[in-house]
Structures are given as C-alpha cells and as structure tokens.
C-alpha cells in the first residue's frame, strides 16, 4: 500500500515536534489528520500548501473524552476510501513545580492530557486498526524525563513513564494483528517547552550532553517516520531514546 492511501493521525500538530512531523509526513505522501486546541498560522500555511485534501485539522482538547471521540468521528468522515494506518500520540503539557506544593488540579491536568488522553486515543485508533485487519502503527512520544526524572517535573515524569508502560503492554496485545506499538523518548529539544527554562538550566543540559547541544525537531522526526514505515514492521514494544547521549 502506498503512503497516499494511508492516514496517520498526529495529536498536538500545531507547533513544535508535532508540527514538524505533520509537515514531514505530508512530504512523504501520507494523508495526515492532526488536532490541537487552536489552529494557528503554521497549520493554515500547510493547508494552503497542500490543497489536495491530504491534511485534516480540527480542534480537539486531548484529555477531554467527549472531544476525543467527536474528533475521531470527524476523522472517520474525512478518511473516506483511504486506510486509517497510524497514530502518533504527541500532544502533551509540562508544568514545573515542586511536588510538595504542586496543586492537585495541575497534576490531574498533566495526567489527563499526557497519559489518559493518549490511552483513550490509542483505544479509539485500535478499534479502527483491528477492524481493518490491515495492521498499523502506534507511536507514543515519551521523554527521557520518564526514565531519568527532573527536579520539578514529578507529575510530568510519571505521565511519560506511563506512556512507556502503555507501549510495552499494547505491543503484546496487538502484535499478532500486525500492529506495532513503540515509543520515542526525546531529550531536551529546542521547542517552546524548553524555552521556559532559564539560560543557566539550558546551559547545564548542554554541558551534560555529549553532543554538546539541545536537540532539534529535525533530530527526532526521522525516527518517528521510520517507526511508521514498512521497514519497521518487526520493531515493537521498544522505546527509542534520542537525546544526544545524555542518558548513555
């Protein structure tokens, strides 16, 4: 099956890694559905550039079950004769704060978006993948913080560690149906999220990185592209770390 007949859904596709991935997959010929809370100029530019109907965007609040189900119904209507092929659980939020004084409402919001939302999106995707009997791909965007931790990001770390656990268990559940499930765990990237770090914190991270810099979106996108491809059909249940050597 050619990429033109495959639909990949990328959550959180309006900026950062998600936006870079959406643009790349369109360039690879995939039909791409994406969502975010708001569209933004970058998504509008991609829609204008790809006027062939291969890009679908609609607002969706990941972490809100009704929104997630409604969004998938809209994707179903858009997919048409194409095959629903893959899901990239990219949407996520990070709020920094020491756990002893961290508000419960913020903890619940992080878990709702980063973990519960990803679990529900995977469930909705699997219902379609299993029904099609044609296999498929799920890629969860985790983080090295899920395995290594970081001061002030306890709830975020827990949510990302949960994603890696989800990856391993789902890989066992659906492997016999030719559906692979993997995680990609980036290190510290030059995105809006890392921009909130003080210059001193950023420099400390760079100093601890053997390759001597923060990661870029272009460092991570090819790995996700590979895991979605036919060449990765015998890779499942794995977490691929892309961090410039921080965790080596």
Dump pLDDT digits (tens) for 79-88. Answer: 988 899 999 9
- Per cent of the chain over pLDDT 70 is 98
Distance, in Å, from the CA atom of 55 to the CA atom of 7, rounded to the nearest integer, reads 9
**pLDDT, position 192:** 57
**pLDDT, position 52:** 81
- The model carries a pTM of 0.95
Sequence spans of domains, the chain: 3-242
Strand order in the sheet with 239-242: 55-59, 31-36, 6-11, 83-89, 136-141, 179-186, 239-242
**pLDDT, position 51:** 72
Residue 185: alpha-carbon gap to chain centroid: 10
* Catalytic residue, candidates 30, 71, 85, 156: 156
Q: Which of 19, 46, 20, 22 has the alpha carbon at shortest distance from 32? A: 22
Task: Give yes or no: 156 in active site.
Answer: yes
CB atoms < 10 A from the CB of 133, how many?
8
**pLDDT, position 183:** 98
Give me the residues of the chain with pLDDT under 50, please. Answer: none
**pLDDT, position 77:** 94
For 246, phi then psi, to 5°, come to -55, -40
Q: Are 162 and 115 in contact (CB under 8 A)?
A: yes
Q: Which CATH superfamily is domain 3-242 in?
A: NAD(P)-binding Rossmann-like Domain (3.40.50.720)
**pLDDT, position 190:** 86
Residue identified by tokens 């998600």 is 18
**First CA to last CA across the chain, in angstroms?**
38
């Amino acid at each position: 099956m050619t990429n033109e007949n495959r639909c990949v859904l990328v959550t959180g596709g309006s900026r950062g890694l998600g936006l870079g991935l959406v643009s790349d997959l369109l360039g690879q010929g995939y039909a791409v559905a994406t969502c975010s809370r708001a569209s933004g100029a970058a998504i509008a530019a991609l829609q204008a550039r790809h006027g062939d109907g291969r890009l679908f965007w609609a607002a969706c609040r990941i972490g809100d079950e009704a929104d997630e189900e409604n969004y998938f119904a809209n994707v179903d209507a858009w997919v048409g004769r194409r095959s629903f092929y893959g899901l990239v659980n990219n949407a996520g939020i990070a709020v920094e704060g020491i756990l002893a004084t961290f508000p419960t409402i913020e903890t619940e919001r992080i878990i709702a978006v980063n973990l519960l939302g990803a679990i529900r999106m995977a469930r909705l995707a699997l219902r379609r993948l299993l029904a099609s009997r044609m296999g498929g791909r799920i890629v969860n965007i985790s983080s090295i913080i899920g395995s290594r931790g970081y001061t002030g990001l306890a709830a975020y770390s827990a949510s990302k560690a949960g994603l890696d656990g989800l990856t391993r268990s789902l890989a066992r559940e659906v492997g016999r149906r030719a559906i692979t499930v993997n995680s990609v765990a980036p290190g510290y990237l030059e995105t809006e999220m890392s921009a909130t770090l003080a210059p001193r914190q950023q420099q400390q991270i760079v100093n601890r990185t053997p390759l001597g810099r923060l990661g870029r979106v272009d460092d991570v996108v090819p790995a996700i592209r590979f895991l979605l491809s036919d060449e990765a059909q015998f890779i499942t249940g794995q977490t691929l770390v892309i961090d410039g050597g921080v965790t080596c």
